[in-house]
Amino acid sequence: MKNIVLIGMPGTGKSVVGRALAARLGYGFVDLDDLIVERAGKTLPEILRQDGLEAFYALEEAVGTSLDREDTVVATGGSMVLYPAAMEHLRQNGVAVWLETPLSQIDDRMPEDLTDRGIAAPAGMTLRQIYEERQPLYAQYADVIAVSLEGAEETARQVLSLLRTLDIHL
């Protein structure tokens, strides 16, 4: 059975929607950020501050290219789309669902210092710049685009409805 791979900006609710989707489908759930933390033995902000952006990117790509799961809802980090090999790997046995969320909503959910949230981006890059850089990549890799709704359950319900409407078999 195929995985559901959730992609999108940080703060779009990939983890909470992912858990709701997994519960509805009887699937497993994995947050790739948790696997990065597990491998590194430190939090995302600690990796970014102590080891640097390149080390974070290398870890994130390694996690994305090595994931081997079935019947799982996968919440990716917002920067996973920066790695073509990882996205290709994740989509081999999965359908990529972009949780599209307006920048204004994402901005409301983010701390002043994006590193505090574990957001991987070059120093000084604004949330708007990150959004503008990644939007075309989310669109490129998305098999399905779902607009984030108010509440994880509503968004999960919409994702399942879209998958059925598009006749995507899981």
Per-residue pLDDT in tens (0 to 9) along the chain, 170 residues: 689 999 999 888 899 999 999 999 999 999 999 999 999 999 999 999 999 999 999 999 999 999 999 999 999 999 999 999 999 999 999 999 999 988 888 877 776 666 666 678 888 888 899 999 999 999 999 999 998 877 889 999 999 999 988 887 76
Residue 92's pLDDT is: 95
CA nearest neighbour of 9 among 73, 82, 58? 82
Residue 141's pLDDT is: 97
Single-letter code of the amino acid located at 80: M
Check if the beta carbon of residue 145 is closer than 8 Å to that of residue 96.
Answer: no
Residue 152's pLDDT is: 87
Residues 6+ apart with CB under 8 A from 106: 9, 10, 11, 12, 127, 131
Check if the beta carbon of residue 147 is closer than 8 Å to that of residue 9.
Answer: no
The pTM of the full predicted model, rounded to 2 decimals, is 0.92
